[in-house]
Amino acid sequence: MSAGVLCVGTAAADSILEFDVWMQKIDRHSQSVLLALKRQDAASATAEARELERLYGLMERFYEARGEHDDPLLLSWDGRQRAARAASLAERGDFAAAYESALGIARDCRACHDRFKPIRPLG
């Protein structure tokens, strides 16, 4: 029984560590996609936006697993949708609209980071 409890505690801690890594990657990719869009580099912008979409999907599942179904989950979903939109727009060459979508990700990330970033495991 103790081993099972230890595994659960370790899994929660690992998830928070993974979450922090995802957040750092989201920050880097949100800046990279903006730079690629400014250069009108469709291939790079699309790749960066798709990676943001994937990372926001991970964050969304993280909050779902924690049973949080309010703002953090909604912001994760919204980030994933914005990233998908930015990728689609960049592929079509609509760099201005893609930039606005990606800029929304950067703004939202900063606006909610301190409020929702988990700092301790649940349990």
Q: pTM for this structure? A: 0.78
Q: What is the pLDDT along the chain (123 residues), one digit of tens a residue?
A: 333 333 333 334 356 777 778 888 998 999 999 999 999 999 999 999 999 999 999 888 888 888 877 788 888 899 999 999 999 999 999 999 999 999 999 888 766 665 656 555 555
pLDDT score at 65 = 84
pLDDT score at 41 = 98
Domains in the chain (CATH in brackets) are: 2-116 (1.20.120.10)
Question: Rounded CA gap, 86 and 94, in Å?
Answer: 9
pLDDT score at 117 = 60
Closest of 112, 99, 17 to residue 58, by C-alpha: 17
Question: Rounded CA gap, 28 and 49, in Å?
Answer: 11
pLDDT score at 108 = 80
Do 62 and 15 touch, CB atoms closer than 8 A? yes
pLDDT score at 119 = 54
